[in-house]
Amino acid sequence: MIVATEQKNNGLKENHSNAPNRLMLSVDKLSITTVTGVQLVDELSYELRQGQTLAIVGESGSGKSIASLALLGLLPDSLMVAGKVQLACPTEMTTLPIDNDKARNAALRSVRGWRVGMIFQEPMTALNPLHTVAKQIAESLRLSGVPKKQWRDKSIALLEDVNITDPADKLKRYPHEISGGQRQRVMIAMALAQQPDILIADEPTTALDVTLQHEILELLERLKRQHNMAMVLISHDLNLVRRYSDEVIVMRQGQTIEQGDTASVFEYPKAEYTRTLIKQDFGQALNLIDNNENKQASVLKVNHLRVQFPIEKSLFGGTKCWFDAIKDVDMMLQKGQALGVVGESGSGKTTIALTLSQLLSTQARVSGQILVNDQDISALSKKALRQFRSQIQMVFQDPFASINPRMTVLQIVEEGLLVQGVDKVTRQQAVMDSLATVHLPAEFAQRYPHELSGGQRQRVALARALIMKPSLLILDEPTSALDSTTQVTVVSLLREIQEKQRISYVFISHDLKVVRALCQHVVVLKDGMCVESGRTEDIFNKPQHPYAKQLLQASIS
């Protein structure tokens, strides 16, 4: 059993030691095995010292996240955990009970959050959709002993620390009412509320644009130094790992492929797999631009698009005040080409995607014109829109949240055809063809989402959209949650589909390397406005607007 060594005083922890480079965490031969004997993590060992950042990188399924979840006893009981984990206490290192023991949860309760904090990868599933931001941060503050009368002030201070604008307003909102990047920052604020000695950051910048990625990691670095913390950074972004970590562990299929000082590993990688990760190559966008492109058929035309959301109700239930999410945006996309939409979190990228696919809340106020294949979609009746919708399909950012976990891959992919009344034999053959298009084996049709990796789930989401044979495919951050090697294969797949089927893409992403590798044109958004647009190479080589220059500079730094 662990004896709780921390003391609480108005939410502040007593600093037991100011010794530099003090050993904070020791992991010795940590192994995780399934009941069927599959080795998920094989004898992972490392030491973490005060003020140090240790990065763990590797492809999806390499064991990065579960190795960290095991430290806090957050894995299901069906997984067998072995090895030795020691955590620094005031006078000595104390062993944590990580094996499946009835007393484990009680023993680790004094460690979770207080001694070791964790920022989870997907904030939309980690945050409670039924509670406001204020209530969820207050829970962390309550656990750390902060008096109730201080909760609001401390919550606002935490949100300011993680660069959330108008924090008082965000406290009143629910998770679905804020952007993906803002949700991620709320998760970071909750983790920091208890002032942990060790912070485990599991892909903390997944949903953020390039400028905010650097801002958040610089913030974590500053807080780490300020509070004498240590940090474990789990990431698939090698540029960030190279810049913000002291040591790195490269994992693949549960094995430690390479381990050592970050600068040395990047400068002189010993393993071929490490070299592959470092030399990430997305390839080049298809050269589909014609000198007579103005004569080509336009799949999409957007004129003076404006989207407003209600933010304040009047006394009698009407809307008193509106927020301009999109302000007078124009776009055009030719057949078979890809339009990249880039900008910081909260700039309006996803709002545009939802508007184009007619999936916005009924409370939103939309004006302007959206033409898809010369059809004004806002003029369509509900019945006509239902028939027309097959021409516009969308692939969402988080494939696990956007597909039904109770349905097989076959049921997920065929759902659109089922709604249209297509017969069973035709549907099943179309599913097989669609799975082949996204390079998934036919036997995957009988699997469930939890049996697939992140990259495989994204391919299923893509197959579900392609089976409808759309002329316009909207992709909202389709690679953001994927590791670097999977990102390369998904981008290559999208380029292959674009070339063979001449489908037009609206591609929303904060990863500018991916945008450059896939899109012929780019639109740069800031605060709901288009600040620059044009051919991809023109904007990447000679950006005109100061914000576009800042965005591109951050992507290569």
Q: What is the pLDDT of residue 478?
A: 86
Could you report the per-residue pLDDT of 424-479, keeping only the tens digit for each? 999 999 999 999 999 999 999 999 988 887 778 889 999 999 999 999 999 998 88
Instruction: Say if 482 falls within a structural domain.
Output: yes
Question: What share of the chain has pLDDT > 70, as a percent?
Answer: 92
Question: Are 221 and 53 within 8 A, CB to CB?
Answer: yes
Average pLDDT over residues 180-185: 79
Q: What is the CATH number of the domain that holds 545?
A: 3.40.50.300
Instruction: Say if 178 falls within a structural domain.
Output: no
Domain count, the chain: 1
Question: Are 172 and 141 within 8 A, CB to CB?
Answer: no
Q: What is the pLDDT of residue 211?
A: 73
Q: What is the pLDDT of residue 417?
A: 93
Q: Which of 148-157, 257-266, 286-295, 326-335 has the least mean pLDDT? A: 286-295
What mean pLDDT value characterizes the chain? 86
Q: What is the pLDDT of residue 8?
A: 38
Instruction: Say if 391 falls within a structural domain.
Output: yes
Range with the largest mean pLDDT of 124-133, 212-221, 235-244, 431-440: 431-440
**Secondary structure (H, E, C), 457-520:** HHHHHHHHHHCCCCCEEEEECCCCCCCHHHHHHHHHHHHHHHHHHCCEEEEECCCHHHHHHHCC
Instruction: Say if 552 falls within a structural domain.
Output: yes
Question: What share of the chain has pLDDT > 90, as a percent?
Answer: 48
Q: What is the pLDDT of residue 482?
A: 75
Range with the largest mean pLDDT of 256-260, 375-379, 499-503: 256-260
Q: What is the pLDDT of residue 7?
A: 38
Could you report the per-residue pLDDT of 29-72, keeping only the tens digit for each? 999 998 888 899 999 999 999 999 999 998 877 888 899 999 98
Instruction: Say if 30 falls within a structural domain.
Output: no
Instruction: Say if 515 falls within a structural domain.
Output: yes
- Is the predicted pLDDT of residue 4 greater than 50, yes or no? no
Q: How many C-beta atoms surround the C-beta of residue 154 within 10 A?
A: 19
- 213 versus 385: the higher-pLDDT residue is 385
Q: Exposed, middle or buried by CB within 10 Å (0-12, 13-18, 19+), for 526?
A: buried
Instruction: Say if 516 falls within a structural domain.
Output: yes
Residue 377 pLDDT level (bands cut at 50, 70, 90): very high
Q: How many C-beta atoms surround the C-beta of residue 556 within 10 A?
A: 10
Instruction: Say if 495 falls within a structural domain.
Output: yes
Sign of torsion over alpha carbons 324, 327, 333, 338:
negative
Q: Which domain holds residue 337?
A: 293-402+470-556
How far apart, in Å, are the Cα atoms of 542 and each of 17, 286, 518, 536, 553?
A: 52, 20, 19, 10, 12
Tell me the residue type at 308: Q
Average pLDDT over residues 171-198: 86
Question: In this structure, what DSSP letter does residue 389 have?
Answer: G
The Cα–Cα gap between 240 and 224 comes to 16
